[in-house]
């Protein structure tokens, strides 16, 4: 995978149902990972979606997650722009520019799932997430 830009939608506990609905409409491949599978010990959210990704045969990509307790969920403003891929130099450069003058909510650093990840709200009020995955063997 090179790099991709796509919407990332936050849900209030119904991300799985929403993504299954979009999967029925758009087809493609849906992967869903829960908080519990990712090592979060809180049983109240163990079955909720930490990350879901739908990739269609037409090249559409949609990502989503459930909003964990303590984080704000506001329908209508619950969409973030996601930059992801394995081109670390490109994505770190984008992060540097996006986070300049931004409110950084998660610094770009290695996360528990093994990738580098950062989140910010840019100077125009647009929320961004950047995820740099390790290059996959060919």
State pLDDT tens for residues 82-120: 988 888 998 999 999 999 999 999 999 999 888 999 999
Domain 3-132 classification at class level: alpha beta
Q: Is the pLDDT of residue 138 over 70?
A: no
Q: What's phi and psi for 68, nearest 5 deg? A: -70, 160
Render pLDDT for 18-72 as a digit per residue (tens, 0 to 9).
999 899 988 899 999 999 998 888 898 999 999 999 998 878 899 999 998 888 8
Provide the strand spans (E) within the chain: 3-11, 29-34, 49-55, 61-66, 79-85, 103-110, 116-121, 127-132
Please state, in angstroms and rounded to a whole number, the distance separating the CA atoms of residues 88 and 95: 10
Please, which residues bridge with residue 8 across strands?
Answer: 63, 80
- Asked whether 84 and 134 are in contact (CB, 8 A), the reply is no
Tokens of 94: 């984008």
Compute CA 106 distance to the chain's CA centroid, rounded to the nearest angstrom.
Answer: 12
What is the DSSP track for 35-47?
Answer: TTTTT---TTTTT
């Amino acid at each position: 995978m090179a790099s991709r830009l796509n919407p990332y939608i936050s849900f209030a506990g119904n991300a799985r149902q929403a993504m299954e609905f979009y999967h029925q409409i758009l087809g493609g491949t849906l992967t869903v990972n829960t908080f519990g599978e990712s090592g979060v010990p809180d049983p109240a959210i163990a079955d909720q979606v930490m990350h879901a990704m739908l990739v269609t045969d037409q090249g559409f990509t949609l990502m989503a997650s459930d909003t964990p307790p303590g984080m704000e969920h506001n329908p209508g403003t619950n969409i973030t722009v996601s930059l992801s891929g394995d081109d670390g130099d490109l994505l770190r450069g984008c992060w540097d520019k996006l986070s300049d003058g931004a409110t950084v909510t998660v610094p770009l650093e290695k996360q528990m799932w093994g990738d580098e990840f950062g989140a910010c709200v840019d100077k125009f009020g647009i929320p961004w997430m950047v995820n740099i995955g390790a290059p996959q063997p060919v």
